Amino acid sequence: MPAIRWSRICSSASATIALGVVGVAAQGAAVVEPDLTALMARETGAAQRLPVLLHLKRQPDASAISKRAAVLPQAARGGSIRESLQAFTRESQAPLLQDLQTRRAEQVLPLVTVNAVAARLTSRDIRELATRDDLASIRFDVGLMAPSRRVAADPCKPARPTPRQRLPKYCRDGGAKPPAAVAAAFDAALPVTPMLAVLGAPQAWKQGYTGKGVTVAIVDTGVDASHPDVGGSFRGGAADWFDAHGEHKRPMDLHGHGSQLAGLVSGRGHNGQTLGVAPQAQWIAARVYNGQNVARLSDLHRINAWLLDPDGKADTADAPQIVLNAWGFGGRPGRCDVEFAADVQWLRLAGMHVVFAAGNGGPQENTSVSPANNKGALSVGALDAGGQLSLFSSRGVSACDARPYPDLTAPGEMLRTTDRAAGPIAATTVASGTSYAAAVVAGELALLVQAKPSAKAEERESALRAVPGDSQPALTRALGLLGGRAASAGGKD
């Protein structure tokens, strides 16, 4: 998981604060969470607005929504769930939206996966809205920071230009983009990385399990689709890329972290070595951070709504089977924050594996992080070269339900993978962290989904859990336990 810097976030289990006074909120009033109360107390400009999330008390009937979706194919369930949630939130949020319009609130955004509305409001409006009897809580729409930007070198702008330096032709032609790289195809005969050999991935490919027909959604810094190792596995539909900030119409990655994850999931062999666990799986991606490397909680709620139904058409079966998340409340280890508990619930009801990096808070005990420690999320820790839990990997028990944490482990140290391309240079790198272990598990799950598409998500995840004393790779054992079906033949595509 990248080192995301969060503003201080208060757990939903913390003491309630109403209008700046510690204690129980007035009857019928909304709880104004402590961080927001503190900001309001420091606020001196009456006209200055704060970004907030207004959570309503009414909640949809998860059982009824699940029953309607259960009869549909897995990839179509998300569309049914999102349609039901939209109908519910449209009706229940209407009075609040009317109130916000009267107050001339700014950047009002109804949310779907959680019954809440995001808006920018003055402190006075927040205090007055807290008296509404249909609101449960008001919290600061926290700003998240991506890791310090690490941009690969631009060949057109060398760090140390020399008078005789000859730039590539496309730079001399006015800075036009370099020619598109030819996407690499999967070739089972290519060498593999040591990590793939340890997992037993080549043996799975020989059985035909390559991830073909499976879609993994990558929720991170974006993915560089110009990189030949991962560009060919982009699903490629108009709705298969979601920039939460509307800044880029096509898949890209200013940082590199998301591209590194994509390489471990489905990276192919442009550089003469297969990198991904599921080289014939496809990816779609959501870009969490804007051009200033900032995002808010509301952006992630919107991304989760997109995951349920990427093209917004309930009759189209386009939801992913696996969601890979490399973000979390890393600055608050050992706490349970349920801001995204409902989002995880809906994705799970849609039949998806909701994979989260467990966090890099080790070696301290009980360093679980949210949402990875929420019910339904699949937290993944990192293993070192000796198969032991990496020193940096978070561990202990979940602060939300006391289950052992993390749920699964996978190699997460010094893994060779793709990096964002630098002009025509298709770069690779070596990386460590629980984000990369989570990407490995996402790839393993892609093989298991292909092998046993009828299995429940819980069955596949359980099959991947380590068995003490078993020398078999977890992937090999899981394929055996699931007793997969006849798969499409592996090889070139």
Percent of the chain residues topping a pLDDT of 70: 84
Does the pLDDT value for residue 22 go beyond 50?
no
Cis-peptide into 155, omega within 30 deg: no
When the pLDDT of each residue in the chain is averaged and rounded to a whole number, the result is 87
Per-residue pLDDT tens over the stretch 71-101: 999 889 999 999 999 999 999 999 999 999 9
Does 435 participate in catalysis according to the annotation?
A: yes
Per-residue pLDDT tens over the stretch 174-233: 544 545 567 888 988 899 999 999 999 999 999 999 999 999 999 999 999 999 999 999
pLDDT at 16: 27
Q: Where are the beta strands (DSSP E) in 358-489?
A: 378-383, 396-397, 404-405, 408-411, 415-418, 428-431
Q: Mean pLDDT, to the nearest integer, of 315-325?
A: 95
Per-residue pLDDT tens over the stretch 231-263: 999 999 999 999 999 999 999 998 899 999 999
- Place 339 in a pLDDT band, splitting at 50, 70 and 90: very high
DSSP letters along 73-96, please? -HHHHHHHHHHHHHHHHHHHSHHH
- Place 157 in a pLDDT band, splitting at 50, 70 and 90: low
Residue 217, sorted as left (phi over 0), alpha (psi -120 to 50) or beta, turns out to be beta
Name residue, tokens 């037993």: 200
Percent of the chain residues topping a pLDDT of 90: 73
Catalytic-labelled residue, pool 55, 255, 257, 353: 257
**Cβ 421 vs Cβ 455: under 8 Å:** no
**Cβ 429 vs Cβ 264: under 8 Å:** no
**Cβ 377 vs Cβ 371: under 8 Å:** yes
Does the pLDDT value for residue 28 go beyond 60?
yes
Spatial separation of the C-alpha atoms in residues 445 and 215, rounded to whole Å = 10
- Place 304 in a pLDDT band, splitting at 50, 70 and 90: very high
pLDDT at 270: 74
Query: Three-state DSSP class for 405?
Result: strand
Characterize the bridge pairing of strands 143-145 and 5-6.
antiparallel
- Place 148 in a pLDDT band, splitting at 50, 70 and 90: low
Query: Three-state DSSP class for 319?
Result: coil
Spatial separation of the C-alpha atoms in residues 58 and 115, rounded to whole Å = 7
Catalytic-labelled residue, pool 80, 84, 137, 220: 220
Does the pLDDT value for residue 158 go beyond 80?
no
CA contacts within 13 A on the Cβ side of 304: 27
Spatial separation of the C-alpha atoms in residues 120 and 47, rounded to whole Å = 11
Return the minimum-mean-pLDDT range out of 157-171, 249-263, 386-400, 433-447: 157-171
Environment class of 101 (CB within 10 Å of its CB; exposed 0-12, middle 13-18, buried 19+): exposed
CA torsion, points 184, 282, 192, 208, in degrees to nearest 10?
-110
Catalytic-labelled residue, pool 80, 266, 398, 435: 435
pLDDT at 6: 41
Does 379 participate in catalysis according to the annotation?
A: no
CA torsion, points 335, 338, 343, 347, in degrees to nearest 10?
60
- Place 331 in a pLDDT band, splitting at 50, 70 and 90: confident
Spatial separation of the C-alpha atoms in residues 258 and 261, rounded to whole Å = 5
Does 257 participate in catalysis according to the annotation?
A: yes
